[in-house]
Structure 1
Amino acid sequence: MKTNLKALLEFPCPFTYKVMGLAKPELVDMVVEVVQRHAPGDYIPEVKPSSKGTYHSVSITINATHIEQVETLYEELGNIEIVRMVL
């Protein structure tokens, strides 16, 4: 069953991305840089290490203004080389 994200959201709205990637110091800066291109603002991402310390999850919340912005950010965050998954 495919859910239509656009039907579930009313814009503008807060939207949180959870980005999982390799535990490298540049991960957070790379995520914020991509987000800044599409939703400029002051961000304080929340970072949590995995139990073995191999990966970090970076949670970042934007004020989404339209569905295209949400979809573009999913795609561009997923294209970061050290990112493994975007939720």
Structure 2
Amino acid sequence: MELIMSVADLYYRPAIGEDDVILSELREQCPEEGEEIMELMPIWKKIGYEEGKEKATKDIIRKLLDKGFDPEQVADALELPVDEVRKTTKK
């Protein structure tokens, strides 16, 4: 099963919202194996991790800026480019 999922991971790149649909179908069709199958699909974890990390970083940037830190200080503290901090403030 791991070999099959590894090959699938190499060639299949789900759209961001598509993974939720696939997971729901897996859980309905195979409730006992659904969680195990999900563990074997690292691309879903990677996508979720990256989205979560990006959102958390943006939240931290906004909070620091709201507390009066300037973009340069935030960039220095988070070890990010100043342009990325400024881009977050424009949204």
Q: Where on the TM-score scale, by shorter chain, does this alignment land: which range?
A: under 0.3
In proportion to residue count, which structure has more helix? 2
Q: TM-score, normalised by structure 1?
A: 0.27
Q: TM-score, normalised by structure 2?
A: 0.26
In proportion to residue count, which structure has more strand? 1
Q: Choose between structure 1 and 2 for higher RCO, CA contacts under 8 A separated by at least 6 residues.
A: 1
**Which structure has the greater CA radius of gyration?**
2
